[in-house]
Structure 1
Amino acid sequence: MKLAYVFVEHPIHHLDHTFTYCADGYTLTRGMRVQVPFGSKTIVGFVEKVEDISDEEVRRFPYTLKPIISQIDQFPLLNEELYELGNWMAQRYIAPKISCFQCMLPSKLKPSSTHGSIRMEAWVRICKQNDTKLTAKQQSAYEDLQKEKEMLRSVFYEKWKIPGKKLIALGLVEVFEKEKKAILENIEKNKEEEFILQEDQKKVIAQVEQEKHHRVFLLHGVTGSGKTEVFLRLASKEIEKGKQVLLLVPEISLTPQMVKRVKQRFGAHVAIYHSGLNAQEKYEQYQLVKEHKVQIVVGTRSAVFMPFDRLGLIVMDEEHDTSYKQDSTPRYHCRDIAIYRGKYHDAKVLLASATPSLESYARAHKGVYALLQMPHRINGNFPSVRIVEMRKSVAKGESYLLSDALLDAIYDRLQKKEQVILLLNRRGYTPILRCISCGYVQMCPHCDVAMSYHKEEKVLKCHTCGYSMNVPTHCPNCHEASWRYLGLGTQKLEEFVQIKFPDARILRMDADTTTRKHAHENLLKSFDEGHADILLGTQMIAKGLDIEKVTLVGIVNGDALLNRSDYRSAEMTYDLLEQASGRSGRGEYKGEVIIQAYDPNHYAIQCAAHHDYLSFFQQEMQYRHLTGYPPYRYLVSMVFSSKNNQDVQQSVEAAMRILSKKENCKILGPAQLHKIRDEERCRILLKGKDEQLLIHYVKDVYDKHLQTKQKARLDIDLSPYMLD
């Protein structure tokens, strides 16, 4: 008998092992999907291995082996590399293997009992030689199809609808189905010679090509230093060798610009992969890579799992960005996966940023990565930076929204027909609705979070769980009709700017205005083409934009992130300010940046104002050393969640009993966290110098949690990015 060992679709901890099925009559290999019976259901799973056993061995099984219902794939969906990567991820991130396999695939291919069907298209082809007399048009249609061999039926009908249908009726032409494929555009390439390299760019390219001891590079290049051109030159060299290239960007908003640059350089043969594509489009792009129809992929985090088999270069632009960290199981970091795949393929991995993460820069400083520097802008000019202390401005009677200095600067740019970017990292109209009479704040009924007012929709929204409600007419606590809207969001800022500058054309870019497909691309294209004077938005406009006429960047509430109870708050503040500042003065016009802050003397703000990453790195590393946070120590987070707080406390107590016997690590907690989606949450943090030891300790808790069938959910996060 032939046996198949299958991981079933349920990403549940206690089902994280293979189930055995009879596979007689099937030709299966590792990485294929099959449909199998599971209890009363039929579900989908991945084949782990196949083996032949004797009838005597079959009789030793303590249960009756059920047969596989059907084979879904004729070829392995996951090649050997991706399968081993899934195993590695499951061990490193302490996650069910099936969840690791699922995160690698487009939804059309994920093992699921409701896996989406692949979209098919109707095609036509000649199925019989002509032995009848045809009209002139029918003969022309027949010869046209004979020349093309096969055509989309829709295209065939556009040219030959009536004669085409007659040919089908006569049995000379048949209709058949083919899997829908992505259409590659015909784009004219630009030659590299048109772009003259600067000395910094030449030096970096030479270092990457000549380096023998490192495969991972950290490129610290200031904003506007020409890092993208370096990426394209290195990509070109790999493509000439017949290799594949992966260009990663952190957010969808950056994808259109990178795609445009890449297609201008290499033509249409580029795959695009990000969360803004629908399931069919993702599948089509995935197949382009698998079938070797493209050599370059541009995409966000999930593109790191594309089915490459001859990878030569991985570029991770804005490597510091938190978007590269997956916030659901398995909680992987894209950088880890990129380095793993680079090592497997013996490919170069280039991590690039104007504000590298402290972990990456520390590794480069120690020689783990090769450090590359591009300290000069292409145009030779950094924007001038002014810090406005808002306490003093408001005390003088100026608006708490925009200071007079920023208003004057906006007016000046509008007069000169130049463009302005205004950054406020909070969407909505106001973040808090408070009763003047009793001080009651309207909270989300499902989360311990204040509801944000959205004036356009006239509703309150929770930015954590998405719940929305109408604005109550009276306070639920004191029943007075005395609401006051506190704080500032992008909607309110847009309204204020439009009142101050009624003739200005304003675009707002935040999570509320980019829900529609291609919204990011359309908004940025409109601004780039000069159809708007002011681009106003959240952090999605803070990085990657290269628009020549932007000469002023205004940052509102520039120190807001410092108020977070998180050890990364200063790093996130510096990153945001430095990246946003870099959008100004990238062309021939001199740039200016105005940062509005209530704590202007904080070192993160001062270092950003002087474009001084090294000073920030040194000061922040001192703080991290004193407090024992990464990169000096490793962190692993365990969060226990349930709608029943008693279940949470039970699981936490069981975990603490195990951890209390462990050595060489520090336990932080347990700490009660705010409620999210009606779930009570409690966190335990482990801190230590040995990452593998911490993983081993957490694995002990994880295994015991499964064995005792605890009711609370356990979420494990290696190197958590957010702790508040």
Structure 2
Amino acid sequence: MKRVRLLVFNAALGVLDYRVPEGSEVEPGSIVIAPLGPRQVLGIAWEPERLSTGEVPDSKLRPFLEVLPVPPLDAKLRRLIEWTADYYCAPLSSVARMALGSMAALRGGGTTTEYRLTGEEPARLTPQRAAALDALQGEQASIRELAELASVSEGVLRGMVGAGLLEAVSVDLDRPYPPADPDFAVPDLSDDQRRAADTFVEAVREGKFAPFLLDGVTGSGKTETYFEAVAEAITLGKQVLVLLPEIALTENFLRRFEQRFGVPPVQWHSSLKSSERRRAWRAIVSGNAQVVVGARSALFLPYARFGLVIVDEAHEISFKQDDGVRYNARDVAVIRARFEQAPVILASATPALESMQLAEAGVYRKIDLPARFGGAQLPAIDIVDLRKEVPERGRWLAPRLVDQMKARLARGEQSLLFLNRRGYAPLTLCRNCGHRFQCPHCTAWLVEHRFSQRLACHHCGYEVPVPNTCPECGTGDCLVACGPGVERIADEVAEILPEARTALITSDTMNSPEAIAEFVAKAEGRAIDVIVGTQLVTKGYHFPELTLVGVVDADLGLEGGDLRAAERTYQQVAQVAGRAGRGEKPGEVLIQTRHPEAPVIAALAAGDRDAFYDAETEARRDAGAPPFGRWAAIIVSSEDMAEARDAARAIGGTAPDNPDMLVLGPAPAPLALLRGRHRFRLLINARRSAELQKVLRQWLDPLQFPRGVRVHIDVDPYSFV
């Protein structure tokens, strides 16, 4: 009798053995439906020698039900799944689930029914139907997806179908994507760009593992350079994966890709409709998807002819997942390229310190683009010392920055103000009794949002209307907004420059690719004079008329005890500064700070990136911090504080006595309460030589905790809250 070992998608079960039915064939990587009690479960056939399980006699094995009609996950992808689970101390089934991004796609092709507006004039228009008509212009999706888009019930939309306002459309689930043309619009590259592009093209031709760090200043044309490697991969019939840190970048990238190759690439991210995910997954598995542009989850998809991976804005912390499988897509992309024997390009104007060290060690080959494309100059950077150049009372913009904004407006040029804080004010309190509005589910103040008239928690999403009276003392008209958020800065701009056309760019206002595309079109069409935004505006945008960037509070990122705070601040400010002067006109950057002597601020002012990296490198070396040492965090949480505390103490009390590891804690996490769960943290600082994952498993696996306690391991953490 033949047996098969299945990895099933249940972390508590993990691995189960089944009997292969007569007449069936199964190979490692096959996706299988199998019985489990009265239910059916999905599983992936795995090599028995690589996964251990309890020995079950042949006579007790149940036969699996069927092998699904999709290609098996190949050995290279299975090894990547194993490596990721091992390195990040995650359940193997949780990692493997990411390879099956669309469960609906596993059953094969066919058609589905979607709905769109007919354009008919309604005879009777309820408020819900009016809202749906406004929200669904140009949309086509299932009833459920349209209901989510329009924020109405499915019943409202079904009524609109009956009234002839929505019509059914049959959609082929497996319709092919139009092919990209590598010769559609070949660019005229500079000498530096051509040398870099030739290096990447040759690596694609060789078809071997080759990691590159593409280090180019903002505006140097990194995208055009690696597009030549993409063109070569398309020519050779290989598939390309381009990872972007956020959906916010997607629209801008899609347009540039289409200008170069004639068609948009295949997309993969959480905002896709279910039918789009199904179509994309099947095209990727079949090899028909030539170029896939996606968020970090696209990294685990089963590509048929993997030939090149590019990580754009590779320094971005959003490549690190903070829940579920806590992996860093930048690092896993390099590992996937190694398993696939393919080149990998990490592109950034401000590379992570870890990437720079690997380049210095010769592990990565560093490719430099030191100058902006087309003769454009890097912007002049100056410091505004807020201790000497004090803003007017009740305002947050220094007089010099205001004067420069007025001058830009008079010349028809654009300005950008950057503050990485959403909302109107980070804290609201009562001037009578001092009451502060705090989230009931998190250790966090509620942020006032004037546009929506709400107080909101940015950690759990809790919201309440702004009250008319203080809930503590009952006094009316007594609430004070403390500190600035971007909404408050936008209000200040409206007061100072009432004639200026201002755009507010945050994740609250730019919550869809369409909204971002509309903003970009307005900015490029000079329909916006002043852009006020959070970190969303630091990424990849090219506005030729933008000549002034003001950093409202450069010190903000240095607060809170983040171990990478200085590096992160440098990257953010350097990236937003890079938005200035990208066209023919010179740019200027003004950085407001109360700590101009801080090394990161001084390095930004001097334009001396190397000095900053050198100082940060030595500080990390002295602290045994990455890349010279290793970190891991253990996060313990429960709805019962005593339960969480006792579990954390139990972990701390059994910490291994290992000379290569220092265990700090347990201590309450900075966010001691998050989404109603009390949290404690332990931080492990280990030498590079320590077998960190092995020690963590031997330490934690024998421990038993109450059912309400969750214990998460975060290897190479980026968040310390």
Moved more, 398-407 or 663-672: 398-407
Instruction: Please give the secondary structure, in 1, of the residue aligned with 2:621.
Output: helix
Distance 2:235 2:171 in 1: 32
Give CA-to-partner distance per residue, 1:636-671, whole Å, 9 cap, x none. 111111112233233323322432433321111112
* Percent sequence identity over aligned pairs: 33
CA shift, 1:720, in A, is 0.2
Instruction: Please give the secondary structure, in 2, of the residue aligned with 1:5.
Output: strand
CA shift, 1:458, in A, is 1.2
8 Å CA contact 2:639, 2:708 repeated in 1: no
Map of 2:280 onto structure 1 = 285
CA shift, 1:311, in A, is 2.6
Of 296, 316, 340, which residue of structure 2 is paired with 1:345?
340
8 Å CA contact 1:636, 1:695 repeated in 2: no
Map of 1:648 onto structure 2 = 644
Q: Mark the CA change 1:553 to 1:108 in structure 2 (over 3 Å): closer, same or farther.
A: farther
CA shift, 1:119, in A, is 7.3
- Counterparts of 1:161-176 in structure 2, within 5 Å, are none
- Counterparts of 1:590-609 in structure 2, within 5 Å, are 590-609=586-605
Give CA-to-partner distance per residue, 1:561-594, whole Å, 9 cap, x none. 0112111111111001100000010111111111
- Counterparts of 1:617-628 in structure 2, within 5 Å, are 617-628=613-624
Instruction: Please give the secondary structure, in 2, of the residue aligned with 1:393.
Output: coil
Distance 1:20 1:498 in 2: 68
Distance 1:368 1:473 in 2: 60
- Counterparts of 1:541-560 in structure 2, within 5 Å, are 541-560=537-556
Distance 2:633 2:38 in 1: 36
Unaligned 5+ runs, structure 2 = 50-54, 115-168
Moved more, 470-479 or 523-532: 470-479
Structure 1 letter corresponding to 2:87: R
8 Å CA contact 1:390, 1:400 repeated in 2: no
Distance 1:246 1:75 in 2: 21
Q: Is 1:15 the counterpart of 2:10 in the alignment?
A: no
Instruction: Please give the secondary structure, in 1, of the residue aligned with 2:387.
Output: helix
Map of 1:718 onto structure 2 = 715
8 Å CA contact 1:108, 1:117 repeated in 2: no
Q: Mark the CA change 1:122 to 1:546 in structure 2 (over 3 Å): closer, same or farther.
A: closer
Distance 1:621 1:671 in 2: 28
Map of 1:510 onto structure 2 = 506
Map of 2:5 onto structure 1 = 5
Map of 1:147 onto structure 2 = none
Distance 1:215 1:646 in 2: 51
Q: Is 1:454 the counterpart of 2:449 in the alignment?
A: yes
- Counterparts of 1:101-116 in structure 2, within 5 Å, are 101-109=96-104
Of 676, 679, 684, which residue of structure 1 is paired with 2:677?
679
CA shift, 1:522, in A, is 2.3
Of 174, 178, 196, which residue of structure 2 is paired with 1:181?
174
Instruction: Please give the secondary structure, in 2, of the residue aligned with 1:497.
Output: helix
Of 701, 704, 709, which residue of structure 2 is paired with 1:703?
701
Structure 2 letter corresponding to 1:205: A
Unaligned 5+ runs, structure 1 = 52-56, 124-175
Structure 2 letter corresponding to 1:232: F
Map of 2:135 onto structure 1 = none
Matched positions, count: 655
Q: Is 1:434 the counterpart of 2:429 in the alignment?
A: yes
Instruction: Please give the secondary structure, in 1, of the residue aligned with 2:439.
Output: coil
8 Å CA contact 2:668, 2:681 repeated in 1: yes
Map of 1:158 onto structure 2 = none
- Counterparts of 1:90-129 in structure 2, within 5 Å, are 90-109=85-104, 120-121=111-112
Q: Is 1:632 the counterpart of 2:628 in the alignment?
A: yes
Structure 1 letter corresponding to 2:94: S
Instruction: Please give the secondary structure, in 1, of the residue aligned with 2:346.
Output: strand
* Structure label with greater radius of gyration: 1
Q: Mark the CA change 1:700 to 1:227 in structure 2 (over 3 Å): closer, same or farther.
A: same
Map of 2:190 onto structure 1 = 198
Distance 2:668 2:470 in 1: 28
Q: Is 1:261 the counterpart of 2:256 in the alignment?
A: yes
8 Å CA contact 2:322, 2:719 repeated in 1: no
Distance 2:105 2:89 in 1: 20
CA shift, 1:268, in A, is 1.8
Q: Mark the CA change 1:443 to 1:197 in structure 2 (over 3 Å): closer, same or farther.
A: same
CA shift, 1:339, in A, is 1.2
Map of 1:497 onto structure 2 = 493
CA shift, 1:77, in A, is 5.3
- Counterparts of 1:137-286 in structure 2, within 5 Å, are 179-181=172-174, 184=177, 193=186, 195-208=187-200, 215-268=210-263, 270-286=265-281
8 Å CA contact 2:419, 2:485 repeated in 1: yes
Distance 1:477 1:21 in 2: 66
Distance 2:501 2:547 in 1: 16
8 Å CA contact 2:557, 2:568 repeated in 1: yes
Q: Mark the CA change 1:208 to 1:449 in structure 2 (over 3 Å): closer, same or farther.
A: same
8 Å CA contact 1:389, 1:600 repeated in 2: yes
Distance 2:245 2:382 in 1: 28
CA shift, 1:110, in A, is 9.0
Q: Mark the CA change 1:41 to 1:602 in structure 2 (over 3 Å): closer, same or farther.
A: same
8 Å CA contact 1:548, 1:588 repeated in 2: yes
Structure 1 letter corresponding to 2:195: K
Give CA-to-partner distance per residue, 1:2-54, whole Å, 9 cap, x none. 444333323x3x43333546645644333344444435544433333689xxx
8 Å CA contact 1:119, 1:280 repeated in 2: no
Distance 1:448 1:190 in 2: 55
Q: Is 1:362 the counterpart of 2:357 in the alignment?
A: yes
8 Å CA contact 1:245, 1:312 repeated in 2: yes
CA shift, 1:361, in A, is 0.3
Q: Mark the CA change 1:9 to 1:491 in structure 2 (over 3 Å): closer, same or farther.
A: same
Map of 1:135 onto structure 2 = none
8 Å CA contact 1:552, 1:584 repeated in 2: yes
Map of 2:583 onto structure 1 = 587
Map of 1:150 onto structure 2 = none
CA shift, 1:464, in A, is 0.1
Instruction: Please give the secondary structure, in 2, of the residue aligned with 1:386.
Output: strand
Distance 1:374 1:183 in 2: 37
CA shift, 1:67, in A, is 4.4
After TM superposition, the score normalised by the length of structure 1 is 0.84
Q: Mark the CA change 1:377 to 1:658 in structure 2 (over 3 Å): closer, same or farther.
A: same
Q: Mark the CA change 1:21 to 1:686 in structure 2 (over 3 Å): closer, same or farther.
A: farther
8 Å CA contact 1:667, 1:686 repeated in 2: yes
CA shift, 1:88, in A, is 1.7
Instruction: Please give the secondary structure, in 1, of the residue aligned with 2:654.
Output: helix
Of 310, 314, 321, which residue of structure 2 is paired with 1:319?
314
Distance 2:334 2:279 in 1: 26
Instruction: Please give the secondary structure, in 1, of the residue aligned with 2:429.
Output: strand
RMSD of equivalent CA atoms: 2.9
CA shift, 1:291, in A, is 2.5
Q: Mark the CA change 1:536 to 1:189 in structure 2 (over 3 Å): closer, same or farther.
A: farther
Give CA-to-partner distance per residue, 1:206-238, whole Å, 9 cap, x none. 444667997111121111111111111222233
Map of 2:382 onto structure 1 = 386
Of 463, 472, 481, which residue of structure 2 is paired with 1:468?
463
Q: Mark the CA change 1:21 to 1:437 in structure 2 (over 3 Å): closer, same or farther.
A: farther
8 Å CA contact 1:398, 1:404 repeated in 2: no
Moved more, 711-720 or 490-499: 490-499
Structure 2 letter corresponding to 1:196: D
Map of 1:163 onto structure 2 = none
8 Å CA contact 1:636, 1:719 repeated in 2: yes
Structure 2 letter corresponding to 1:426: R
8 Å CA contact 1:6, 1:21 repeated in 2: no
Give CA-to-partner distance per residue, 1:520-553, whole Å, 9 cap, x none. 2222222222222222211011121112111111
Q: Mark the CA change 1:251 to 1:708 in structure 2 (over 3 Å): closer, same or farther.
A: closer
8 Å CA contact 2:182, 2:234 repeated in 1: no
8 Å CA contact 1:182, 1:285 repeated in 2: no
Q: Mark the CA change 1:183 to 1:557 in structure 2 (over 3 Å): closer, same or farther.
A: farther
Instruction: Please give the secondary structure, in 2, of the residue aligned with 1:518.
Output: helix
Distance 1:430 1:454 in 2: 7
Map of 2:660 onto structure 1 = 664
Distance 1:26 1:492 in 2: 66
Moved more, 361-370 or 707-716: 707-716
Q: Mark the CA change 1:479 to 1:307 in structure 2 (over 3 Å): closer, same or farther.
A: same
